[in-house]
Amino acid sequence: MKIALAQIDQRVGDIAGNVEAMLEWRAKAADAGADLVMFPELQITGYPPEDLVLKPGFVAAAMEASERLADATADDGPAILFGSIHGRAGAAYNTVLLAENGKVLARRFKHELPNYGTFDELRVFRPGPLPEPIEWRGVKLGVPICEDIWLEPVCQYLKAAGAEILLVPNGSPYELNKDEIRQALAMERVTETGLPLAYLNRVGGQDELAFDGSSFVVNRGGKIVVQMREWDEALTITEWAKGDDGWACTTESIEPLDPYPEDVYHAMMVGLGDYVTRNRFPGVIIGLSGGIDSALTAAVAVDALGADKVWCVMMPSDYTSSDSLEDAKACAEMLGVKYDIIPIKPGVEAMHEMLDGVDGLAAENIQSRLRMVTLMALSNEHGHMLVTTGNKSEMSVGYATLYGDMSGGYNPLKDAYKTTVFELSRWRNAKKPRRALGPDGPVMPVRIIEKPPSAELRPDQKDEDSLPPYAKLDRMLEALVEDEVSVGEAARITGVDVETVREIERKLLIAEYKRRQAPPGVKIGRRNFGRDRRYPITNFYRSGS
């Protein structure tokens, strides 16, 4: 028996386009002699469809497309196992269907609906009953859908009901260390059931999520015999044979997985690239300051889109150093992008005259907001999407200007702490990612990485004038944001005094209103701002020491 694993992309809401792509991949699988082609979770609709599921017309369209797709299997080609939505009695179900010979042979509904982190499937779907195995060509296939393998009951039920192979379609987004977590989980289910398991995941970007694929097959005994590459669409033909102790995958094909931080960089590329192209922007525009955040953002954009689609603009003020001017120009030249310089001094002077003189923080924010006005004017005139460059450390403590440097359509660094930004920049200067469209060599001057970070909004300004060193700050933020521990526990974990941690927590909580107005950005860690972490803006709770 040959089962083709179609690790492919999806476009949420593009039902016709998704069906067309599935037929193309099925034809490739047929040429390779496949008996069955397996597609990821909700391949018909794209994952996650979110509140589109609440539209009866959308559910009806998905069901109609599923029937049309089943009709297409009347050509004696391979059977298909694919994800869609099924509506029944006013409820919608996350569904997997098996079709062959022009007919839908079976439907099974997702039983465990995730309702945490980035997931809120209970909002739109109804849980299905524990699924029975699907009998196909004399083989009993257990088809748990994604979350169904994260808890024990579904796989145990399938085993008790006679399932012989577990085929698991997924829509599992990337986050740090997710490969290890998925593989360990799959091995647990294989150990518990004694059944081999094929784990198939989608690839591509969808708003704040990047899907890495990383599909694999585990045989009894916990050995991974197939590992597909991350991020790439691919078709892997797996051969299966039945022995005295049951079915096993006899194919051995192991592709390498991205090491850290290459995996993070790829997630940023996929998230930004698909967001820009699928929302039909001709390119992006970036404020290039001569600092590390904007330099890394520009590198990610060039690697994802190509240099011809990236426009960088330096907007110096009286406080912009000569080093920053030189570094921004050098960075643009290394990346091969269009580069312009537009000084904001005339605008600053006009604002001071209009407001009869301003000082302090208000004067600093005027500079940041004038840069935003400049970039948005260029965006409006030429159609390029403005890309934001702030990192997670800054977003955490409000070290960013609302309606200034926070403005834009997308932020690839949104979930990357400042220390991660440094790691990524050093790595990209030394290595070129496999999928990158940018230069083979370094992408920014070394001085950008080595100089002390500064917003350059007042004389001799440094980030550490008002923030702890980023190495310490990020450890505190990881404890408070990723681990949700108390101030006292964070102090114990990090070795920082309680009062400093308490002040960082205060900054974190009062900046929530800013983050609510920030653009989307790709999820990297366990708790990104947006889908994962949803705090009230008006909030009087403070954790104890």
Q: Could you tell me the two tokens for 114?
A: 């995730």
Q: Where are the domains of the chain?
A: 2-254, 262-462
> Where does the pLDDT of residue 177 fall: very low under 50, low under 70, confident under 90, or very high at 90 and above?
very high
The reply to whether 464 sits in an annotated binding site is no
Catalytic annotation present for 146 = yes
Residue 456: is its pLDDT beyond 70?
no
Residue 461: is its pLDDT beyond 90?
no
pLDDT at 545: 66
Q: Could you tell me the two tokens for 59?
A: 């559910």
Catalytic annotation, pick one of 41, 100, 112, 175 = 41
Catalytic annotation present for 159 = no
Report, as an integer, the average pLDDT of 281-307.
97
The reply to whether 291 sits in an annotated binding site is yes
The model's pLDDT over 3-12, given as tens digits with 9 standing for 90+, comes to 999 999 999 9
Q: Report yes or no: 235 and 25 within 8 Å, Cβ to Cβ.
A: yes
DSSP string for residues in 147-189: GGGTSSHHHHHHHHTT--EEEEEE--B--TTHHHHHHHHHHHH
Q: Give the span between the Cα atoms of 537 and 462, in whole angstroms.
A: 29
Catalytic annotation, pick one of 100, 110, 456, 472 = 110
- Per-chain mean pLDDT for the chain: 95
pLDDT at 116: 87
The reply to whether 283 sits in an annotated binding site is no
3-state secondary structure of 259: coil
Q: Report yes or no: 286 and 277 within 8 Å, Cβ to Cβ.
A: no
Q: Give the span between the Cα atoms of 288 and 340, in whole angstroms.
A: 9
pLDDT at 429: 97
The model's pLDDT over 85-126, given as tens digits with 9 standing for 90+, comes to 999 989 999 999 999 999 999 999 999 999 988 899 999 999
The reply to whether 116 sits in an annotated binding site is yes
pLDDT at 455: 72
pLDDT at 541: 86
DSSP string for residues in 304-348: HH-GGGEEEEE---TT--HHHHHHHHHHHHHHT-EEEE---HHHH
Report, as an integer, the average pLDDT of 234-243.
97
pLDDT at 454: 74
Residue 240: is its pLDDT beyond 90?
yes
Residue 251: is its pLDDT beyond 80?
yes
The reply to whether 142 sits in an annotated binding site is no
**CATH code reported for the domain at 2-254:** 3.60.110.10
> Where does the pLDDT of residue 46 fall: very low under 50, low under 70, confident under 90, or very high at 90 and above?
very high
Q: Enter the pTM of the model.
A: 0.94
The reply to whether 294 sits in an annotated binding site is yes
Report, as an integer, the average pLDDT of 140-157.
97
Report, as an integer, the average pLDDT of 215-233.
96
The reply to whether 405 sits in an annotated binding site is no
**CATH code reported for the domain at 262-462:** 3.40.50.620
Q: Give the span between the Cα atoms of 222 and 118, in whole angstroms.
A: 29
The reply to whether 9 sits in an annotated binding site is no
> Where does the pLDDT of residue 303 fall: very low under 50, low under 70, confident under 90, or very high at 90 and above?
very high
Q: Could you tell me the two tokens for 239?
A: 């051969």
Q: Give the span between the Cα atoms of 526 and 176, in whole angstroms.
A: 7
The model's pLDDT over 387-431, given as tens digits with 9 standing for 90+, comes to 999 999 999 999 999 999 999 999 999 999 999 999 999 999 999
Catalytic annotation present for 345 = no
Report, as an integer, the average pLDDT of 219-223.
94
Residue 196: is its pLDDT beyond 80?
yes
> Where does the pLDDT of residue 457 fall: very low under 50, low under 70, confident under 90, or very high at 90 and above?
confident
Report, as an integer, the average pLDDT of 122-141.
96
Q: Give the span between the Cα atoms of 390 and 400, in whole angstroms.
A: 7
Query: Rounded to whole angstroms, what are the CA distances from 544 to 456, 491, 501, 505?
Result: 36, 11, 11, 11
Percent of the chain with pLDDT over 90: 88
Catalytic annotation, pick one of 100, 112, 121, 146 = 146
pLDDT at 463: 74
pLDDT at 181: 95
First to last CA, the chain: 61
The reply to whether 493 sits in an annotated binding site is no
Q: Could you tell me the two tokens for 96?
A: 């997997």
